[in-house]
Amino acid sequence: MADVSKATDISAIRLLVLDVDGVLTDGTVTIHADGSESKRFCLQDGHGIKMWRRAGMEVALLSGRPSAATRHRARQLQIKHLLEGCQEKLPAIRELLCTLAMTPQQVAYIGDDLIDIPVVRYVGLGCAVANAVPELKLHADYVTTRPGGNGAVREVIEFILRSSGRWDDLLQRYLEDQGP
């Protein structure tokens, strides 16, 4: 895990905002002959999002492009806040924070490309996936060891939950005797 470079109160984080293509996916979009598309999502990331929500936290998806596959995945994970087609992400996240009555310091964001730099610099914990562009990594507080679409989201979730003392309570669910 990377070191958090700026003074961030990890326990203040209440909202995790995720870019989609290149973060929740490996950045590959398969376009079919009929114009529909397919994306590959990591199940460990999905379980991490469920654990995050179980800890009482909010999740939002913030994508530069609209996608039926993204909307379907958001429904599967019961993510209420889905912002698509946001070519400028900073205004979109500012509006979301107004709606949720949150401050930037309460937000962690994960991105992978140049469009994510303003948001990474704005929030309390700005993260870049391992395979992000170098310019984004320069501005990130945390750079994952795992690439987008392959556990990077789960890594950030575990980092925040462990650092804020919430992990052990969530883990207990899996350690309890589930015998007959």
Domain CATH number, residue 112: 3.40.50.1000
pLDDT string in tens for the chain (180-residue length): 445 545 579 999 999 999 999 999 999 989 999 988 899 999 999 999 999 999 999 999 999 899 999 999 999 999 999 999 898 999 999 999 999 999 999 999 999 999 999 999 999 999 999 999 999 999 999 999 999 999 999 999 999 999 999 999 998 888 886 666
- Tell me if 93 is assigned to some domain: yes
Whether 2 is in a domain gets the answer no
| Crossing angle between the packed helical segments 152-163 and 167-175, to the nearest 10 degrees | 110
Please report the pLDDT score of residue 178 as a whole number.
66
Does 5 fall in a domain?
no
Domain membership of residue 53 as a residue range: 10-175
Would you say residue 3 lies in a domain? Answer: no
- Beta carbons of 123 and 97 less than 8 angstroms apart: no
Whole-prediction pTM: 0.92
H or E element that contains 15:
strand 15-18
Domain count, the chain: 1
pLDDT for 2 equals: 46
